[in-house]
């Protein structure tokens, strides 16, 4: 009888602990590639919501000022950049939009 009463709380604790680290900081959006002519020059993404992103891994074929893109990014909360512009992100997927 003792075992029947202790199993549900243990399962609940395991589920809570298991999901506590499951934060999805990936973002699917559309936006525009923007060339920034400071700090040596770099390309960033300005989302349609106005948010600025500083990708660490933008592919060279997307380095085109004004290019419309659809992208999935991962926000890198533990990263610091020297551009001092936008949120540091890693591009998971990116594609050109037909203009």
- Higher-pLDDT residue of 40, 53: 53
Tell whether the model's pLDDT for residue 20 goes beyond 80. Answer: no
pTM value surpassing 0.75 = no
Q: What pLDDT shows up at residue 64?
A: 97
Domain ranges of the chain: 26-96
SS3 20: helix
CA–CA gap between residue 19 and residue 98 (Å, rounded): 39
Domain 26-96 -> CATH class: mainly beta
Per-residue pLDDT reduced to its tens digit, 42-82: 999 999 999 999 999 999 999 999 999 999 999 999 888 88
CA–CA gap between residue 45 and residue 2 (Å, rounded): 58
């Amino acid at each position: 009888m003792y075992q029947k009463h202790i199993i549900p709380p243990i399962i609940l604790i395991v589920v809570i602990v298991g999901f506590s680290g499951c934060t999805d900081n990936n973002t699917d959006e559309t936006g525009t590639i923007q060339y920034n002519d400071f700090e040596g020059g770099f390309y960033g993404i300005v989302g349609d919501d106005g948010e600025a992103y500083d990708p660490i891994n933008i592919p060279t074929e997307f380095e085109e000022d004004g290019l419309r893109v659809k992208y999935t990014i991962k926000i890198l909360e533990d990263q610091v950049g020297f551009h001092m512009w936008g949120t540091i992100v890693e591009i998971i997927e990116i594609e050109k939009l037909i203009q």
